[in-house]
Amino acid sequence: MITLKEWMEVVDYRITEGGDYNLFSPNAYALTSWNGDQNGYSLEIIFDQRTQEVFCVEAHDYKHQRAYRLFNPDYADVDTNDEAWDDVKWTTLEVDDDWIQKALAITAGEEYDTRVSVPLDLDDDLVFSMMKMAHERDITFNELVEDVLRQALEYQTLTPPPPVNNWTVTVQEDPETGDLILPLPEDLLAMQGWSEGDSLEWIDNKDGTWSIQRNDL
């Protein structure tokens, strides 16, 4: 998580206001750095006055009507407002450097990448394979990762999730023999390719559940 020192460096140690903050901790305090322009920007940090633990950092880009925030992972579940200001929703970031780069560009009045960086946990073998693939395609590693993620998202968007089918049946008793009967729904039989006269086998999954399969022997 971004430290108080790192935030101070981003705002060039320019503080315009501060005050107690009634969230995260009884000792929470907020510092704000505003450039004094309603169409400009302001950056804010919320931290513990005693320990200097940072809870959250914010970047408000009033010119482009964008608001970014980055939570300390230990406090990400704290109930906060989704709206930064009138009709402007928060964009929650996940990577420290993503917030820093956006904040630096906002304060400098420069264009910046509005996409959100996503942390990836890749093992060494996979990273090595992807680096080789990127080299073969004559692109950077980051470009390859972006391409892989984009294709995965497109595939997930185009491919509908498999249908989830649930049935509830009541065990019945044969009035003549007293045997218990489990009536199977017609659509279940059709889905499994079962028909009257098939021999079915019960399988204990050893976890409190059972499976049924056709015995083709």
Over residues 59-98, the pLDDT tens digits come to: 999 999 999 999 999 998 888 889 999 999 999 999 999 9
pLDDT band for 154, please (50, 70, 90 cuts). confident
> What phi-psi label fits residue 206: left (phi over 0), alpha (psi between -120 and 50 degrees) or beta?
left
- H or E element, residue 191: helix 186-192
CA dihedral for 43, 47, 49, 50, sign (positive or negative): negative
**Nearest of 52, 50, 96 to residue 73 by alpha carbon:** 96
Over residues 27-55, the pLDDT tens digits come to: 999 999 999 999 999 999 999 999 999 99
**Nearest of 185, 179, 217 to residue 201 by alpha carbon:** 217
**Nearest of 75, 27, 69 to residue 44 by alpha carbon:** 69
Give dist(CA 217, CA 213) in Å, integer. 12
